[in-house]
Amino acid sequence: MILQADDEGQGPAFETPGAMLDALRDHPEWDEPRREAWFDHLIARFPPEELIAAARRRLGDLGGDDAEAVLRLIEAFGAPEVFQELAAALVAQPGLPPERAWEALSLLEATGLIEESPELAERWEELNEVIDDEGSLAALAEQLEEDPDGPWVPLQALGGIEPEMRGPIIAGLGGQPTGPGLIEFLRLLAYT
């Protein structure tokens, strides 16, 4: 059972959208199906204007465990002024985890608000570069696994890269699933 009798969102503790969002924030241990069921119950229980009002009050902390739900509410029910508030909140929270910042910025992409803010435009560009780099590293790791006898070509390519850029590339590869090809590549890299 995903929602138990004592947490079905009934009674005085859950009479507001804010209280239900608090429950999401206060229970990071809930698995994804339970969080989804709770969010669905939240949406079904309250009118959009109450939901968006609760989401607006939480824009100051987009790093919390309720932030995903807040962003989903803004995506579903947000108006132009809500997106402007989201943009201001992002500028005020430069230390957000990259995944959360990317989620929020992706909501603003079609509004034109990213282009209006140099801080947001720079952050959006940096996050997209990181995503592109991670995709490239994943492709390299996959290539090394498909052809474990051929790590010399990527090794030679890495030799042509500026020394200060090699560390982040190697660290990124270290975060990929390891197999014999990637292990051999990293072993050979240690000797070059």
- Out of 68-72, 96-100, 101-105, give the one with best mean pLDDT: 68-72
Place of tokens 């090809």: 181
146-174 average pLDDT score:
60
Q: Is the pLDDT of residue 154 over 80?
A: no
Dihedral sign from CA coordinates of 120, 124, 125, 130? positive
Residues whose CB is less than 8 angstroms from the CB of residue 33 and which lie 6 or more positions away in sequence, other chains included = 2
Question: pLDDT digits over 60-81, tens only?
Answer: 999 999 999 999 999 999 999 9
Could you give the residue ranges of the DSSP H alpha helices within 16-160?
17-26, 32-45, 48-57, 67-77, 80-92, 98-108, 113-116, 118-146, 152-159
pLDDT of residue 127: 79
Share of the chain above pLDDT 90, in %: 45
